[in-house]
Amino acid sequence: MPIFPSEIQRARKAVETQVEQTDRVIASNEAIADVISGLDNTFSKVHGTLSTGFSMLDTGLQELCFSIDDGFTELSYKLDLQNETLEAIKEILERPLDTQAKELRKRAEFAYLNGWMDEAEVDLLESEKKNYQDFIALHILGNIYYHHKKNHQKALEYFQKAAKYAAPQSKLDACKALLRAAKVYKELGRAEDAYKSTRLAMDTLSDDAHNLFNHSAYAAMTKRPDESLDCLRRAVLRDPTLFIAADSDERFSNVVQEKEKLKRDLRDKQRQVVEQLREKLTVLRKDFESAKDEAEEVGITGLSQYIKDLDSLDAGVDEIDKLYANNSYFDLLKAERVAHNIHNEGLKAYEGNIEEWIKIKNAAISELESKKGNVKGGCLPWLAGLATWLILFPLIWFNHFPSNENKLAVWIGAGFWLVFIPSVVLFNLMVKKIKRLGISNEIEKENNAIARLSKLKKWKRKIKNV
């Protein structure tokens, strides 16, 4: 299949020029630079991967291409002919045909893509006789008559046929044909018929951005301002780049003031959205500071990750504030996306840090529990030795000093030790209890710390669900 580098390059330059002239209510200089950067990347991909066609471009940029030079619509369709979805539809259309009809169909498409329009026309007309429902062939014929033969009546006839037969197979292709028919009606000075054609497209796919935008344009042309502005609003909410296309589209000349008001209304509404999100981030930052103070009070020392997360939150807020200051619709849309991401990441970081602090406290409790289980009084070895001596001493004494006086002395010494040992044992038990009580107090302190930290986390979940 042929490549169309010159057409693609021409489209890129034309669109870039138009984007640079966009009203600053729609996009600031920074936002325009972002759009152009994305535009360059997308056109490069279109050039390198033709199977995806113009579908890689935002709807608004596609419309901008079409309005700048009508030849871009044909380029778009040429690219679409190599799209996998359309290939699958072509296979379905060709199944009931004989070999000759299939060959005519494929040969005509090949000729069309290579610019041999006379040969393509002959084969397509012959193919129509064998399969009048082939809406792709009918659409190509419409393109040939409109772009190359300059026969608007014929083009209109074939675009309408293509729309009719595409509807059961592909509503999207039916709408494309109806929009092309509307364009022809406009060229013929029949704005009311153009409006009706886009109305049919709207009835087929009411939420499609292309349909909404074009119906808005023809509603404006036929002096239906309320309908025009309603459709334009819905289109822009689906694809903001349609604002760029509408900004320069002459079809909106009857609703210039209304369009300007819509731009500012949507911009101002978007400002309110960002202001609400900015307030949520302010609350989140205060939560970060409060949690940090709480962590320090309960003895958490490793706060480096928490401080790093707080710095990331601050950096994101600075970016949002810069976008907000630009005061354009595109900048405010970007600010909304950034704010959502920062808020979600901030919540994850907030709760993740608290979870980590709770783990630290649980580990401390486990260590204290182990320490508590291993507590000793401190004098048990000495008591064991003393008990041994107490048992052995009388035996030794009686064997060497059998006199009554000695025996009395032994019994007096034994009695002393019999009183002393229980006292020492009781003292040992008291020491052990005191040590265990001290550790229990430490464990209770750590449990209280966990309760305080857990309360922070549960409270944050409540905030998250507001």
Question: pLDDT value at position 21?
Answer: 84
Using a 10 angstrom Cβ sphere, with 0-12 exposed, 13-18 middle and 19 or more buried, the burial of residue 36 is middle
Of 135, 10, 145, the closest CA to residue 80 belongs to 135
Question: pLDDT value at position 20?
Answer: 85
- Residue-wise pLDDT for 5-23, tens only, equals 666 677 777 778 888 888 9
Using a 10 angstrom Cβ sphere, with 0-12 exposed, 13-18 middle and 19 or more buried, the burial of residue 329 is buried
Note the helical H segments in 222-255: 225-238, 242-248
Q: CA 421 from chain center: how many Å?
A: 76
Tokens read off for 148: 């190359």
- Of the chain, the percentage scoring pLDDT greater than 90 comes to 45
Task: Give the mean pLDDT of 117-139.
Answer: 91
Band of residue 49 on the pLDDT scale cut at 50, 70, 90: very low
Question: pLDDT value at position 349?
Answer: 92
Query: Domain-by-domain residue ranges, the chain?
Result: 5-186, 276-373, 380-464
Least confident interval from 112-126, 334-348, 411-425: 411-425
The residue type found at 436 is: R
Question: pLDDT value at position 218?
Answer: 97
Q: Model's pTM, two decimal places?
A: 0.77
CA angle 262, 325, 284 (to 5 degrees): 105
DSSP characters over 413-446: HHHHHHHHHHHHHHHHHHHHHHHHHHHHHHHHHH
Task: Give the mean pLDDT of 34-54.
Answer: 62
Q: In this model, does residue 466 exceed pLDDT 80?
A: no
Question: pLDDT value at position 58?
Answer: 73
Question: pLDDT value at position 442?
Answer: 86
Question: pLDDT value at position 347?
Answer: 92
CB within 8 A of 268, min separation 6: which ones?
A: none
Q: In this model, does residue 380 exceed pLDDT 80?
A: no
Band of residue 311 on the pLDDT scale cut at 50, 70, 90: very high
Structural contact between residues 274 and 339, judged by C-beta atoms closer than 8 angstroms: yes
Task: Give the mean pLDDT of 290-296.
Answer: 90
Structural contact between residues 397 and 411, judged by C-beta atoms closer than 8 angstroms: no
Q: In this model, does residue 213 exceed pLDDT 60?
A: yes
Residue-wise over 106-128: b if at least 16 C-beta within 10 A, else e? ebbbebbbeeebeebbebbeebb
Question: pLDDT value at position 148?
Answer: 93
